Chains A and B, each alone.
Chain A
């Protein structure tokens, strides 16, 4: 059974720092991996989607990498800002059932001025 883990559960950093969020999965048979952002009391917003054949994706100050063989993905946030404060979730789509996403429990990020 696929399990998705995100460590740490919470992170607090000063503004301007570069930071890395981690996502681990137990079954390397994934179709793609997606990173989401969730603001308090709101729904999820998709940030980046990496197909299993890709190594990384970039969008602005965000860079997500994928290492299928080791079951790991990282989300790199450059020059963090208070507006980046949110919970970040990763989710994997299984290669043998791409209809569903398996979610991690998230990392709650706080960026203070």
Chain B
């Protein structure tokens, strides 16, 4: 099993450009999450999904959109990138079972917006 994979690993954008980050998991997890990690801020939840076709806002959703058309994939879109979106982005997934909610993380995407 590959676990959680993220594409791309690195990306540099200019202000105003758009891009999509792809997350894929092969563990048949119901729940998927997008986080951003900034120095001194910890990880903050951007958006999440509790199943195919569903999405919900997290702590810092502004400037991002997401889609979950297939259970195994969760896409994060930036329509008009801003320097404040320079960060490391992590995707995670979990069974969603409230008894055991361990989250499994991907390796991250390092995004720089100039």
Contact = CB atoms under 8 A, between A and B. Distances in A.
Contact of A103 (B43, B101, B106): B43
B45 to A, nearest CB: 6
A100 B103 CA distance: 10
A46 B92 CA distance: 11
A63 interface: no
B58 A43 contact: no
A42 B105 CA distance: 10
Interface of B: 4, 31, 40-45, 48, 50, 56, 58, 90, 92, 96, 98-108
Q: Determine which residue in A36, A103, A106 has the highest number of CB atoms from chain B within 10 A of its CB, and name it.
A: A103
Contacts of A98: 98, 101
Given A31-B101, A49-B100, A49-B102, A101 B45 contact: yes
B102 A43 contact: no
A55 B101 CA distance: 17
Interface of A: prevailing SS: strand
Interface of A: 4, 31-32, 34, 36, 41-46, 49, 51, 89, 91, 93, 98-101, 103-106
A99 B50 contact: yes
A99 B42 contact: no
A91 B31 CA distance: 17
